[in-house]
Structure 1
Amino acid sequence: MNGELYQICCLALAAKKALKEGSTISYVPDKYIKRIEFQFLPEKKLFHESAPKADNVGSWFEQCLKRGLQDVMLYVPVSVKDRNLLGFSNMSRSLLVCFFKNRSPGCFTPRWEFDSAQKVWHVLYTEYEWKDLPKDKPRFTDNSNDFKAVLTEIEKLARMIACDGFAGIFQKAFSVLEGDRDTIKNPVLPQIPEKNRRLFEAACIADVFGGMGSWNDSPPYMAHEKGLDNEYERLSGELLTQIRLAILYAVNEW
């Protein structure tokens, strides 16, 4: 899983945990993140409008609480038109949706900027009002069985086109869904139910879509050489869908 999607998942998990426990938010960014800021929508004051800004995660969460924060959810599309774009920043199209008491939900979208001098990233989450958001919050279901099915199929495909390294990745993700804790990749996560954790970990492992060296790079050509273009496209699209569905369930349903 790329850093952009992983970060917004962890922010949502940390915020939900803090809300459930009535505690302050606990979130430590990765070392390659220099700064995380949050730009809120303008608010009407007596004689003017102001657009509050939080310069860290803790300050953002405190301001959200003052606004009556009741829940936080992650939204991410389950399919994309071009999987090759997933190797670039700002292409996850993910949303951090905050539900407030007595006000419309706020949707925070991230924008990543790379500081080439310091070799670090600056991330700005900007709030937008989602006026057409459905009245009822969406519900997500456990897709473990469908996820395991596509992992089994795509592992076979990977071995057929001599991509044993990727086959091993898909096998590892399958093992996590089966309950193998020895394959856990991200040991430091908020305490969430075991089923959710397995789905999230498996999604992290199985997300092989990126740039050079990814499942988007050589495998499509290797599949083409064996006349398996359609199988590659079908299974790759289904894998991405199941990864995203697993993320949506793991982060939101607990």
Structure 2
Amino acid sequence: MTGTLAQLIALVAYGNQCISYPGTHREFVQHHSTFRFCEKVFFTAEKKKYFFSEGKRTTVAENPLEWFRYLGLDGCQALRLYYEPSDGSSGTADHKLAGMIGGGGTWVIEAMYPKYSDFWYGGWTVSSEKAEDNRFWSVEYRCIEYEIDSRNLQFSVGLQRDVLSKALNEIESFAKEIDMENFAQVFQRANAALASAHPDQDYYHSDLLPENTYGMAEQQLLFAASHAWVFGGMGSWNDMGFEDKQVQHRYNTVSSALYTAINNAIIAVVNS
């Protein structure tokens, strides 16, 4: 999966613990894999001095731990992942753009309060192309929606497990038919993670979820979805095309189905 989505997952999963139990995960930023290439991760919101005055965007937290404290003190009760597909105006399916920053639909963090929610969007920019410690990125999470109706997306973990497995079986069969055995093996390994006692094995972001927080079924589903992510740029599953219209149609169909299954699986787990 993309580093941007992985970081969102981590912020929600660890953030919920930090909000509920202040003082936990004090070394979250220093050691978590989703921050290894980030020079800075900060959070901004508009603050109004008076009710009718124009808002001024200010930094409310210099790092994720400060943000969790800020949210807790502000009355936030929980964090959730929220995803919204694109409106299709680009003419290109979301799964084909998923490997690009900002492509593939919109992912945000929902901060839930008793009567409303705020929504935070992460913007990634290159802060230093020659960083000796490889920390190239600066990430600003902006509060883009204030005090609107809560969404709290929820999907059944059990149901999404079945949906993902079916999508993986279908796309694996297609990969074998077009002699793409390397991708068929990727889909097979992802499906195997649904029954593995160590579903995070050999996955770069093995620390996506806090320890002892999510059950085995949730871990299996999340890492199966993570292993199944093949939507990138050159050399990825997206970097193919077929002259046969029927083959192209099936390629698009199984790819779109897998992309939707992966996204819903992630939401099912993280928001459970």
Deviates more, 1:203-212 or 1:122-131: 122-131
Task: After TM superposition, give the deviation of residue 146 of structure 1 in Å.
Answer: 1.1
For normalisation by structure 1, the TM-score amounts to 0.87
- Partner residue of 2:253 out of 230, 234, 252: 234
Deviates more, 1:191-200 or 1:23-32: 23-32
Match of 1:216 in 2: 238
Paired residue secondary structure (2:126): strand
Q: How many Å separate the matches in 1 of 2:265 and 2:199?
A: 20
- The one-letter code sitting in structure 1 at the alignment partner of 2:266 is I
Q: How many Å separate the matches in 1 of 2:52 and 2:248?
A: 62
Q: How many Å separate the matches in 1 of 2:153 and 2:8?
A: 18
Is 2:268 the counterpart of 1:249? yes
For structure 2, which runs of at least 5 residues remain unmatched after alignment? none
Maintained 8 Å contact 1:96/1:108: yes
Equivalent pairs, count? 248
Task: After TM superposition, give the deviation of residue 234 of structure 1 in Å.
Answer: 0.7
Match of 2:206 in 1: 187
CA 1:45–1:59: 2 relative to 1, 3 Å: farther
Is 2:89 the counterpart of 1:69? no
Match of 2:153 in 1: 138
- The one-letter code sitting in structure 2 at the alignment partner of 1:69 is C
For structure 1, which runs of at least 5 residues remain unmatched after alignment? none
Q: How many Å separate the matches in 1 of 2:225 and 2:257?
A: 13
- The one-letter code sitting in structure 2 at the alignment partner of 1:211 is G
Task: After TM superposition, give the deviation of residue 84 of structure 1 in Å.
Answer: 2.6
Deviates more, 1:176-185 or 1:239-248: 176-185
Is 2:174 the counterpart of 1:169? no
Task: After TM superposition, give the deviation of residue 158 of structure 1 in Å.
Answer: 0.6
Q: Deviations over 1:188-245 (max 9, x none)?
A: 2313221111111011110100101111003x33xx4595111111100000000001
Maintained 8 Å contact 2:9/2:81: yes
Q: 1:152-163 counterparts in 2 under 5 A?
A: 152-163=169-180
Paired residue secondary structure (1:126): strand
Is 2:34 the counterpart of 1:18? no
Match of 2:62 in 1: 55
Q: How many Å separate the matches in 1 of 2:247 and 2:51?
A: 65
Q: How many Å separate the matches in 2 of 1:127 and 1:14?
A: 19
Match of 2:220 in 1: 198
Cα RMSD after superposing both structures:
2.5
CA 1:12–1:67: 2 relative to 1, 3 Å: same
Q: Deviations over 1:141-169 (max 9, x none)?
A: 12101110110111011111111111111
Q: How many Å separate the matches in 1 of 2:216 and 2:85?
A: 23
Q: How many Å separate the matches in 2 of 1:130 and 1:46?
A: 14
Maintained 8 Å contact 1:71/1:99: yes
- The one-letter code sitting in structure 1 at the alignment partner of 2:153 is P
- Partner residue of 2:126 out of 97, 110, 114: 114
Match of 2:140 in 1: 124
Paired residue secondary structure (1:40): strand
Q: How many Å separate the matches in 1 of 2:51 and 2:247?
A: 65
Task: After TM superposition, give the deviation of residue 114 of structure 1 in Å.
Answer: 1.6
Is 2:44 the counterpart of 1:39? yes
Task: After TM superposition, give the deviation of residue 138 of structure 1 in Å.
Answer: 3.4
Task: After TM superposition, give the deviation of residue 129 of structure 1 in Å.
Answer: 2.2
- The one-letter code sitting in structure 2 at the alignment partner of 1:244 is N
Q: How many Å separate the matches in 2 of 1:46 and 1:201?
A: 46
Deviates more, 1:39-48 or 1:61-70: 39-48
